[in-house]
Structure 1
């Protein structure tokens, strides 16, 4: 019995891009995804974490998710929607609405819990996937983002998070193998950073002490498909059946050329080796374009004037523009106005202007910038570090990010 499912992740509902709401772009993506579900009628939809952009999402972002779940259930009532919490999500928050999710044939795993024996509660992490006749065709091993304090707290005498994570995987896979029959597939869904995978500048590093990313060897050969979330670039990791689906919209200008997608997967454990795993890439249309221009200021101005014209009435549908230009002199006081005048009227949103001071043919130094987005703690740390005259120090930055993560975990725990 084959299982057929869709793999997506990193929606980041509620995100603001340089102060601009992405609600329209997410609406367009979700409408497209609903059409794919209507046409393909899969057994399951897997959402591998970072459903929301922040742990305390706005009501509009939450409404987007729950309206999507209601619409998906209406057009494919047999389809299960399985979700895990990512590092941007509050695992407790998304689990609080389980009674609502059940009405839409949806289930979420937000945090790792213990059972009465103070061991990992593996039952919550093993979710059966059914076919149209309500036969179990696969087991989904659902692992949310694993924070160090959570993962080591269940294993006495183990302080190394990587060892704790490996033990959890071994226990979960062993239990899944006990439950499965030969015709049932094993799917592992995880929000994690894997060794050998490629990041973008918009992705905050996962801090597990000072440990490295996880190795794909942690999955062994028993898992038929690994549905990953966290990294925004769609990619396989070592094997074709270990994949990041990637984010559905570009979350930074470094993702401008990403081929955003949902992965459609078929698994049939009883088929021949070459037919057990099949997949197809479903390309997501981009609803709002991003443009990045760099060069001497006169070159940038010429490029801006050659852009397509034609007004876009809804500001949320207007295209984003990012500019990096090279100059030896400080920017003119009216530079932003000059650039706005060069852009065709009411079609574009200018979100960043950055001047780079060209020192020599080998390299440039970032000299000044006009950034219209609200500062993040990481941005403020980097700016203060630079202002104090210190050289770039990745170890210091990692220590700061570790402290920031601990503070966010504590705020999250205190709220529950």
Structure 2
């Protein structure tokens, strides 16, 4: 018998764009996800990190997640769900309701747990069963690796060429796979990861460099060839990396203007012994997202005409109104441009996601364009300011302990 596995990631529950809430889109996605799980007779759902958008999710966001997970289990009573933490997630809070989540078939793995000098496989190795209750494969559930999860490299190892952080990540996966193989032999093994793998396409302004020490990416070779599939999260563009069985499922809908042209969906993998098959299932985009730019950016005087051409529905509730990003051509002066466009957009049933200035690198030449965002102060997230200040001061991004302290201070202010 085969086992059918659905791979999804980067839900970012609680995300806003220019202050606009995305709850309607998440609710729509969860409804469609359940329909796919039922229609495609899915046996297991793998959620590869960034379940939430920040490390201090709201009570409403937590309820939305738990309701969605319970709804999936009601729809498929034998369903197994494996949920790992990404760099955005509060790892401890994701695991905290573990004993309750297990009652609805959910294994939540927020942190890498060690036992007797190795990985605690009782926590990280999850059996995947078919509809008859037979174990057909196993999932090696590894969340985003934080500094404390990686072994300290000393002596000769520290002197080797290349990044010690990348070597540590490779070592983590190698030890995890070896330990799993000792328990399950040659049974099909699926690994989860929340990493940037070399060769993967990033979304502009959507994903940060997340490895400790500012390291950016690991090679696909960190994933053992014996793995039947590698379910990745972090990059929002759906794509394969390195080989056909190493994939990012991508985000469920555009989380920024740079993701407009992505073909959002979920991946379904069927494993039947040594047999592997892959299917991509498209997701419906519940809210339109437009980028008004003309050929080389619009003049302010052209914005209204571009909006009229959209034939907007004035009766839509706010949460269903289209998102609109405007690219302006470089004009006489940038002073006041943002305010002018804001005023125009406010007269239409749309939600403003930002204004950018498009300018050629050199006048008179067909050079690639640069896009400079005109941001208002209230659009800049405190977390982005924290990252920028930290990187400027220390030369690398903050670690989990710094982010936890930042969010605890932010919660006190709020």
Short-chain TM bin: 0.7 to 0.9
CA distance in 1 between counterparts of 2:172 and 2:373 reads: 47
Partner of 1:388: none
Distance 1:191 1:357, change over 3 A: closer
The 3 A distance-change label for structure 1 pair 374 and 350 is: closer
Q: CA 1:305 to 1:413, structure 2 compared with 1: closer, same or farther past 3 Å? A: closer
Equivalents in 2 of 1:63, 1:378: separation in Å? 23
* Match of residue 161 from structure 2: none
Does 2:226 align with 1:222? Answer: yes
Deviation at 1:400, TM superposition (A): 4.8
**Which stretch shifts more, 399-408 or 251-260?**
399-408
Partners of 2:358 and 2:407 in 1: how far apart? 39
Counterpart among 261, 268, 273 of residue 264 in structure 1: 268
SS in 1 for 2:254: coil
Alpha-carbon distance in structure 2 between the residues aligned to 1:89 and 1:237 = 24
SS in 2 for 1:311: coil
Alignment correspondent of 1:100: 100
Secondary structure of the structure 1 residue equivalent to 2:100: helix
Aligned to 2:331: 328
Structure 1 window deviating more from structure 2 (367-376 vs 322-331): it is 367-376
Residue in structure 1 matched with residue 311 of structure 2 by the alignment:
308
Work out whether residues 387 and 397 of structure 2, in 8 Å CA contact, stay in contact via their aligned partners in 1. no
TM-score by length of 2: 0.86
Q: Report the Cα distance in structure 2 between the residues aligned to 1:384 and 1:191, rounded to whole angstroms.
A: 25
Would the aligned equivalents of 1:9 and 1:49 in 2 still touch at CA under 8 Å? yes
1:350 correspondence with 2:349: no
Deviation at 1:122, TM superposition (A): 3.1
Conserved in 2, the CA contact under 8 Å of 1:327 and 1:357?
yes
Matched, 1:231 2:230: no
Unaligned runs of 5+ in 1: 271-275, 386-395
Pick closer, same or farther for the CA change 1:125–1:286 going to 2, 3 Å: same
* 8 Å contact kept, 1:187–1:226: yes
| Match of residue 209 from structure 1 | 213
Conserved? CA contact 1:305–1:342, under 8 Å? no
The 8 Å contact of residues 235 and 245 in structure 1, kept in 2 or not, is answered as yes
Range with greater deviation from structure 2 (293-302 or 100-109): 293-302
Residue of structure 2 equivalent to 1:319: 322
Give 3-state SS (helix, strand or coil) of 2:61's partner.
helix
Cα distance in 1 between the residues matched to 2:388 and 2:183 = 53
Q: How does 1:11-410 map to 2 (within 5 A)?
A: 11-115=11-115, 117-152=116-151, 160-182=164-186, 184-201=187-204, 202-270=206-274, 276-294=275-293, 295-297=297-299, 298-331=301-334, 333=336, 336=339, 340-341=343-344, 345-346=348-349, 348-356=350-358, 360=363, 361=365, 362=367, 369-371=374-376, 374-376=379-381, 380=385, 399-403=394-398, 407-408=402-403
Following TM superposition, by how much is the alpha carbon of 1:363 offset from its aligned partner in structure 2, in angstroms?
Answer: 6.2
Deviations 1:265-319 (A, max 9, x none): 101224xxxxx11111110000011111221414444322212122143111110
3-state SS, counterpart of residue 286 of structure 1: coil
Relative to the length of structure 1, the TM-score reads 0.86
Partner residue of 1:391?
Answer: none
Counterparts of 1:268 and 1:253, CA distance in 2: 39
Contact 2:338 2:374 (8 Å CA) reproduced: no
Q: How many residue pairs get matched?
A: 396
Deviations 1:17-74 (A, max 9, x none): 1101100000000000011112223110000000000111011111111001111111
User: What's the CA shift for 1:371?
Assistant: 3.8
- Structure 2 CA distance, aligned partners of 1:284 and 1:242? 21
